Amino acid sequence: MEELITQLKDMGFTEYEAKAYTALVQQSHVSAYQVSKNSGIPRARVYDILNILVEKGIVLKEETAEQTTYSAMPVSVFLQQMEQRWQSNFSSISMKLEKLEENVQEVEHKVVMLKGKESILNYCQSLLRKAKKKVILSMWEDMYDALRQDLQEVSQRIPVHGITLYVDEHLATIDRHRATHYTKKTSTPHWFILSVDGQEMIYGHSPSAQETAFITNDPVHIYLLEDYIWHDVLINRLVKRDDQELEDWIAKERKGFFLE
């Protein structure tokens, strides 16, 4: 019950309003005194709370010569009202926020941190939905699998290019990264880069490993990381054949370059 009260509070009800309505759902056609007793709302407050719920249209008030009783609006009706109200508010907020965003005269180039697995995935999905020209990516299997459906949908509208690591059945337009000693190491971090239209980008470790990513619209960041992806694709295409001597040479050069 506590969780339900919390959820109703998240929808805009006060704690007393939530307690009064849930009490009436369990027992309707009762007096204000009985609502107070069943819900734990102080008697001094229960009348005001019930009148507020009557005004909101989710509690019915019946007055007779003998007494006044209260009943909850049927749950199906209540849920429909909440859904309609939420949808109306969502549409209104969306329109107003998008209008504010359009009024920004000068784009500020920046890099900001985003935390939380759900937030990172939601931002990636939002970028893919609004992509208009192209998508460029570099991903390990955990991130790609989380976005697989979204990538398939966007690929039906615009080109999707890039490279993946250990991904089964990825888009035909995406290259597969060769398996190397470095990629096979369990300590190797799983990174990702997702760039949309050359205008916006999110990059960082895959959320399953570290719930931190970075968002940027800075053209320098975007150019450098898109170019990094292209060079990764190019190298993989050049060494596509099974050439152990070349693989050993690349491993040696990498260690020298990064002082490993």
Q: What's the pLDDT tens digit per position in 53-70?
A: 998 888 888 888 788 899
Q: What tokens were used for 103?
A: 């009024």
- Res. 41 pLDDT band, cuts 50 70 90: very high
The CATH 1.10.10.10 domain(s) of the chain lie at 2-73
Do residues 119 and 215 make contact, with C-beta atoms less than 8 angstroms apart?
Answer: no
- The mean per-residue pLDDT over the stretch 219-240 comes to 87
Q: What's residue 257's pLDDT?
A: 64
Q: Taking Cα atoms as reference points, which of 213, 214, 219 lies closest to residue 198?
A: 219
As a whole number of angstroms, the distance between CA 54 and CA 26 comes to 17
Q: Model-level pTM? A: 0.58
Do residues 187 and 164 make contact, with C-beta atoms less than 8 angstroms apart?
Answer: no
Q: What's residue 112's pLDDT?
A: 87
Q: What's residue 148's pLDDT?
A: 94
The CATH 3.30.870.10 domain(s) of the chain lie at 111-258
Tell me what the pLDDT averaged over the chain comes to: 85
For domain 111-258, give its CATH number from 3.30.870.10, 3.40.630.10, 3.30.365.10, 3.30.460.30. Answer: 3.30.870.10
CA angle centred on 184, ends 179 and 189, rounded to 5° = 110
Higher local confidence (pLDDT), 150 or 77:
150
- Res. 106 pLDDT band, cuts 50 70 90: low
Q: What tokens were used for 236?
A: 């993989």
- Res. 190 pLDDT band, cuts 50 70 90: confident
pLDDT at 221 over 60: yes
Q: What is the DSSP letter of 166?
A: S
Q: What's residue 89's pLDDT?
A: 85
CA distances 228 to 190, 192, 224, Å, are 16, 12, 6
Do residues 216 and 204 make contact, with C-beta atoms less than 8 angstroms apart?
Answer: no
Q: What's residue 193's pLDDT?
A: 95
Residue 72, Cβ neighbours under 10 Å: how many? 21
Q: What is the DSSP letter of 30?
A: B
pLDDT at 82 over 90: no
Q: Taking Cα atoms as reference points, which of 209, 203, 164, 165 lies closest to residue 183?
A: 165
pLDDT at 179 over 70: yes
User: Which amino acid would we find at residue 88?
Assistant: S
As a whole number of angstroms, the distance between CA 192 and CA 145 comes to 12
Q: What's residue 260's pLDDT?
A: 56
Q: What's residue 104's pLDDT?
A: 57
Higher local confidence (pLDDT), 259 or 16:
16
Do residues 238 and 167 make contact, with C-beta atoms less than 8 angstroms apart?
Answer: no
As a whole number of angstroms, the distance between CA 53 and CA 191 comes to 51
Q: Taking Cα atoms as reference points, which of 25, 52, 51, 48 lies closest to residue 38?
A: 25
Domain 2-73, CATH: 1.10.10.10
Higher local confidence (pLDDT), 110 or 147:
147
Q: What is the DSSP letter of 188?
A: S
For 49, counting Cβ atoms within 10 Å of its Cβ (0-12 exposed, 13-18 middle, 19+ buried), the class is buried
CA dihedral 68, 69, 73, 74 (to 10 degrees): -150
Do residues 124 and 130 make contact, with C-beta atoms less than 8 angstroms apart?
Answer: no
Q: Which pLDDT tens digit goes with each residue over 132-150? A: 999 999 998 989 999 999 9
Q: What's residue 242's pLDDT?
A: 59
- The mean per-residue pLDDT over the stretch 221-248 comes to 81
- The mean per-residue pLDDT over the stretch 234-256 comes to 72
